[in-house]
Structure 1
């Protein structure tokens, strides 16, 4: 019997048969501003569709009008663009899969001066005041949706379209009693008319055969959200007008509740989707922070007309579907806090990037090889450089002073919610061995050792950064710990702890110290104030959530000029700060640590008079790190040439593992270019 039989059962949606129940979620590659169907994007989807690929792909970023752009630098759909889509849809069809184009209008979530909504209001996240869409524009937008749906199916050879109706999209703000305060034909009791008319018009343009999917806001997570019976009636009306597939979005804004983060237990949204599925006799797509294949198969066994949507796992492992089907190990997604896009210095823009698969949109090509390369340091940059060199045909030796590869990144696997890092490092290490990389452990490389053993090799240093203590009176007291001291468990940590640092790592460490790992569905939902949408409007309990007492009293001391809240607001992750405050963490922003002793920390804050004395058992210093440059200096003195890669080059105390990985690849390629 095949592994996970229900995942790989075919399903009929409308007049189309899907070869399995797996859907690839829309992905932003970062290349849309240049060319929606760039050859690298085509290759990206071709690799995932090949063989046992998902039965259905949904392509995002199909913005139908200039007012609906997220920002004005983004592209808008044109008939010419859709004509070029054939080269992408054809490679997906060759594998027997189907593909939909997601049509979008970002509505109240747009961040530019021409943004429109159902009614005039101010978006606190963007700081923009949205214009009320005039009636003529509303009718024109419906025509634009319909026209591009027609072009996508006729000329782009898509199998259908998905209407994005989640979060602050135009269809959702028109359907919402919170945002739609109009008194014309599009308001009052006819709030849902915009979406219903949209589906009716699209179906009249494209005919009965193509799939029309609607991405619905299942839980608004706001007291002004939709009532459950209204949502079901709305879905029935959409189905009557031609929708034959539903998918879901959660929340008006990603800032308020962690929908897809490492804070979110896998499968936590499934019961709400099952509740909807039982009421609406139309295939639905279960998505958002989905569990592993075992539980996915169980979900589909209990919901025989449903599908499951996979996004990040298919970025991390292009052959995820094939590996699951054949029982091979998959390369896990580590749920990076920054998401799946980050600045690429070579491209000069934000692009899709993944530490699990650094070759996303950046394929490596085998070269004649012939170089002997010694990589010193087994962190993300060193491992990436070693893998890249081996793929390009070079003889690679990787040396690390520890018993296990991964560096500081491996230590981060001990932080709550980051256990997948250890799984990823295990997969990456196995790949290095399969590629023929010689790995030398428990060896501290010195310049003399390199000269004695690898005098003819090219040298690439990826020795990372190490903790250093700031110049604070009392910093040398025994109760001051480095990040390594904490994560390696060198010292039992007391009940009152101060964390000195800022950014993701400091917040992760603070969370690790002050919170319990909430895995049970009911416990997690209660902690975030989420309830049954059939009983609570918008899925919000409307009461102060119940939390178990924090295991420690923690103080977060941020010495930068940017407040912790401002930092996480930029990344749409305010829920991180909210979670800390819910657990009693006191945050001192724009702070100056004046004095440390064995029982306290004295802190002063910008704009506040006097100092605050915090009684603590331990102080964890997270913010200060410096390049591990000892070997670099030794090699320079002996005149041995080398290349540096990874976080040892970064100005910031912590570069992300993804940035270090890409830098390791790019430096290896540059080293090869100069040597051959």
Structure 2
């Protein structure tokens, strides 16, 4: 065992059972939980993480009754006839040497259906359905439903349950004044508001006995108006411990909070101070969460006494072998989670199966299967962006002899540009991972090479991953000296003047505006990030929120688009609001419905509605889309050389690394 992470790899004794290390796989709804026919895939998913060294995994949330469904016919465990498929999951995890707990989640007013209930009839701002206030009888019945769900989980072979008491779900709706407006024994002072949570833990413990793990996920930092004070959080923690919980997991923020908690611009381990404050106050293990994506970060939290375990969720999507690699001294080989949310949470909230941008095998373990090549081929990959790097690595993993050509001076393509954006520094980890894999697998990498057809004639097959070029819109004056393409603006931001217009408000337009409006990246400075987003690290205010102190933009920026719809509509569902809020706070002017007239020495001439305007800008940055570079396609076809087109070269619309990496993987598995 590697000694670089002694605290991370140390077993945790829970008295009646022992966990083999300090890594808990946090709950994520994968989209395989809702139908019994998908449980074989769910079993393979969790088994891969157990084989990878995870001590204890927690499933996505299962409701204890119909009212608690996230949406109609979503995951639920409330009767014996639902137990059977779960045994496939628990058996697979146990055979792989791990343990697994079922999360019991009642969505309360977050339930997307008309049967929803809550502490009070207070509608959520993110849900069209208004809940019914629960009656005394309904409360008692729901407590019994939690206990029955836990018993069924034990019958299904689970080692424990996690009771979801955070993120603004039902239990949290009882504990926080934001939703709980009751004047009976379940509302008012914290002793009453916490009663629902405490009674649930007591009922579950009585039902399952002493030798069963009960994790309670406690909302320690609500990050909303009407949230709990620290004294109220502390009261809950002690009462839940006394009621019979085995461990307390940290919950950060409600889904409706206007503070980002897990996106890539959140500093690593930004919320480690929260469990660190609680841990001395209770005698049961405390678990730290959110943006813990390297063994070094996890080890530091454990070593300094901030927690007893670390919860990794998305990092184990990105690399199921995270723990094993750390244990054998191969942390540099970990495929690091970049917290982009594009294939995981964005999929979950769109009711799609979750996966991972940097690891498309995640949740597709039974469908994407890498096998050694039956015939070893000489394969050329043209272009070393995300698609090209992925294809090269996957082909080499299968035993093919691969040469990777790149016209630039380094691998990475559009990903290398993205890594320069403040808040996207994590993208450098993917470049580091791929560079390492290319070297380890013996891929021949040729940089600074403009490939022509003569260079490809000796290869058995070619993967054309030649990427994109920026689209130049037909605006009079587009060749004016003040105009830069987005790649130039990102790589040479010092050339951009103090007043700038950004043409195009897709993902790249927002990225460019983020770069140009940031004096420095708060993602690398937790104190500055707390100030920017109004987080109170002293936790001496209700909900842990404070007034924002957004840093001023060093430039005056206009972000423009032709469409009349709101800007940023096409951004990620779980991260787009962060980008929009960030730019608004910095004073970026966001204008839709723009017609571009011309560019000249006076600036950019536009028409908005019927109103002509001249933006007296020093620079105009063009982010108006891309065109696929398929210049080698016809020569390859004419030369009779088998080829496949992937990534931006295949489809340039809305550059999508998720699609590019998955497509390259699927093709590489077939060559």
TM-score normalised to structure 2 length? 0.91
Q: Which residue of 2 aligns with 1:577?
A: 580
The 1:3/1:102 distance shift into structure 2, 3 A limit, reads: same
Contact 2:505–2:568 under 8 Å retained in 1: no
The 1:333/1:401 distance shift into structure 2, 3 A limit, reads: same
Q: Which residue of 2 aligns with 1:646?
A: 647
2:206 alignment partner, one of 201, 204, 207? 204
The 5 Å alignment of 1:593-604 reads 593-604=596-607
Output the CA distance in 2 between the equivalents of 1:354 and 1:81.
28
- Residue 636 of structure 1: how far off its partner (Å): 4.5
Output the CA distance in 2 between the equivalents of 1:136 and 1:93.
39
1:389 lines up with 2:427 in the alignment = no
Q: Which residue of 2 aligns with 1:284?
A: 286
1:511 lines up with 2:517 in the alignment = no
Q: Which residue of 2 aligns with 1:62?
A: 62
- Residue 276 of structure 1: how far off its partner (Å): 1.7
The 5 Å alignment of 1:408-557 reads 408-451=414-457, 453-454=458-459, 457-489=460-492, 492-515=495-518, 516-518=520-522, 519-532=524-537, 534-541=539-546, 543=547, 545-557=548-560
Output the CA distance in 2 between the equivalents of 1:372 and 1:514.
46
The 5 Å alignment of 1:665-676 reads 665-669=665-669, 672=671
Q: Which residue of 1 aligns with 2:18?
A: 17
Q: Which residue of 2 aligns with 1:193?
A: 195
Contact 1:386–1:432 under 8 Å retained in 2: yes
1:293 alignment partner, one of 289, 292, 295? 295
Q: Which residue of 2 aligns with 1:241?
A: 243
Contact 1:37–1:88 under 8 Å retained in 2: no
Q: Deviations over 1:14-59 (max 9, x none)?
A: 53222222211123333223448633332332232226x1322212
Q: Deviations over 1:428-477 (max 9, x none)?
A: 233234334333332222234434x44xx223322222102111222111
Output the CA distance in 2 between the equivalents of 1:463 and 1:293.
35
Q: Which residue of 1 aligns with 2:252?
A: 250
Output the CA distance in 2 between the equivalents of 1:202 and 1:668.
49
The 1:286/1:600 distance shift into structure 2, 3 A limit, reads: same
The 1:472/1:35 distance shift into structure 2, 3 A limit, reads: farther
Contact 2:28–2:59 under 8 Å retained in 1: yes
The 1:401/1:490 distance shift into structure 2, 3 A limit, reads: farther
- Residue 310 of structure 1: how far off its partner (Å): 1.4
Structure 1: tracts of 5 or more residues without a match: none
- Residue 642 of structure 1: how far off its partner (Å): 3.1
- Residue 161 of structure 1: how far off its partner (Å): 0.7
Q: Deviations over 1:570-594 (max 9, x none)?
A: 4364232111111121111233333
Task: Give SS of 1:470's match.
Answer: coil
Task: Give SS of 2:352's match.
Answer: strand
Q: Which residue of 1 aligns with 2:86?
A: 85
Contact 1:381–1:462 under 8 Å retained in 2: yes
Contact 1:257–1:528 under 8 Å retained in 2: yes
Task: Give SS of 1:396's match.
Answer: strand
Output the CA distance in 2 between the equivalents of 1:235 and 1:573.
34
Q: Which residue of 2 aligns with 1:311?
A: 313
- Residue 504 of structure 1: how far off its partner (Å): 2.6
Task: Give SS of 1:212's match.
Answer: strand
Task: Give SS of 2:196's match.
Answer: helix
Q: Deviations over 1:212-262 (max 9, x none)?
A: 111111111123111222221122221111112111221222551110112
1:625 lines up with 2:631 in the alignment = no
The 1:604/1:163 distance shift into structure 2, 3 A limit, reads: farther
Contact 2:346–2:573 under 8 Å retained in 1: no
- Residue 394 of structure 1: how far off its partner (Å): 3.3
Contact 1:555–1:587 under 8 Å retained in 2: yes
Structure 2: tracts of 5 or more residues without a match: none
Contact 2:533–2:550 under 8 Å retained in 1: no
Output the CA distance in 2 between the equivalents of 1:447 and 1:342.
40
Q: Which shows bigger deviation, 31-40 or 142-151?
A: 31-40
Q: Deviations over 1:259-309 (max 9, x none)?
A: 011221112211122112222232110111126433432322332862111
Output the CA distance in 2 between the equivalents of 1:10 and 1:643.
48
Contact 2:56–2:99 under 8 Å retained in 1: yes
Q: Deviations over 1:181-203 (max 9, x none)?
A: 23444333422222121111111
The 1:634/1:217 distance shift into structure 2, 3 A limit, reads: same
The 1:30/1:82 distance shift into structure 2, 3 A limit, reads: same
Contact 2:27–2:60 under 8 Å retained in 1: yes
Contact 1:254–1:573 under 8 Å retained in 2: no
Q: Which residue of 2 aligns with 1:6?
A: 7
Task: Give SS of 1:581's match.
Answer: helix
Output the CA distance in 2 between the equivalents of 1:599 and 1:173.
56
- Residue 524 of structure 1: how far off its partner (Å): 1.9
Output the CA distance in 2 between the equivalents of 1:80 and 1:365.
37
The 1:180/1:87 distance shift into structure 2, 3 A limit, reads: same
1:592 alignment partner, one of 573, 595, 602? 595
The 5 Å alignment of 1:22-171 reads 22-35=23-36, 38-50=39-51, 53-72=53-72, 74-77=74-77, 78-94=79-95, 96-153=97-154, 155-171=155-171
Task: Give SS of 1:443's match.
Answer: coil
Task: Give SS of 1:431's match.
Answer: helix
Contact 1:533–1:540 under 8 Å retained in 2: no
Q: Which residue of 2 aligns with 1:331?
A: 335
The 1:182/1:491 distance shift into structure 2, 3 A limit, reads: closer
Q: Deviations over 1:540-576 (max 9, x none)?
A: 12x3x22333222222113234312644584364232
Supply the RMSD in Å over aligned alpha carbons.
2.7
Task: Give SS of 1:223's match.
Answer: coil
Contact 1:496–1:553 under 8 Å retained in 2: yes
Q: Which shows bigger deviation, 73-82 or 615-624?
A: 73-82
Q: Deviations over 1:495-548 (max 9, x none)?
A: 22222222332222211111221233332212212214642111112x3x2233
* Number of aligned positions between the proteins: 658
Q: Deviations over 1:313-359 (max 9, x none)?
A: 22222221122223211222222152525669xxx983333243232
Contact 1:142–1:201 under 8 Å retained in 2: yes
